[in-house]
Amino acid sequence: MTHVIKRGGQRKQAFSPSKIKKAIKGAVKEAGFSPRKTEEVVNEVGNEVVNFFGKKKVVKSVDIRKSILGRLERRSKSAAAAWKRFEKRKQGKF
């Protein structure tokens, strides 16, 4: 089983493919993609990330974030920008 070390380094939680795909879906929807295109991007990017990190014993959440963002930037600049806006809001910097 894969565990994720959270940003502060103190907490660990189980790797959750559904959580990753949900986050990607939120960014893609916010970018204004159609439902069909949203599912396409979520499946493509989400499956790549899940397949890569799901094979490891322990991963850092920051590494997962970088991987998702890099893949989104290659696939869609608008989805990557939406991801960054979400992170800023989440951290109270927006």
C-alpha to C-alpha distance for 72 and 24, rounded to whole angstroms: 9
**What's 38-66 look like in SS3?**
HHHHHHHHHHHHHHHHCCCCEEEHHHHHH
Q: What Cα–Cα distance (Å) separates residue 20 from each residue in 1, 69, 78, 93, 94?
A: 16, 12, 18, 22, 22
Model pTM? Answer: 0.87
Residue ranges per domain, the chain? Answer: 3-90
Q: What is the pLDDT of residues 8-54, one digit of tens each?
A: 888 899 999 999 999 999 999 999 999 999 999 999 999 999 999 99
C-alpha to C-alpha distance for 38 and 2, rounded to whole angstroms: 27
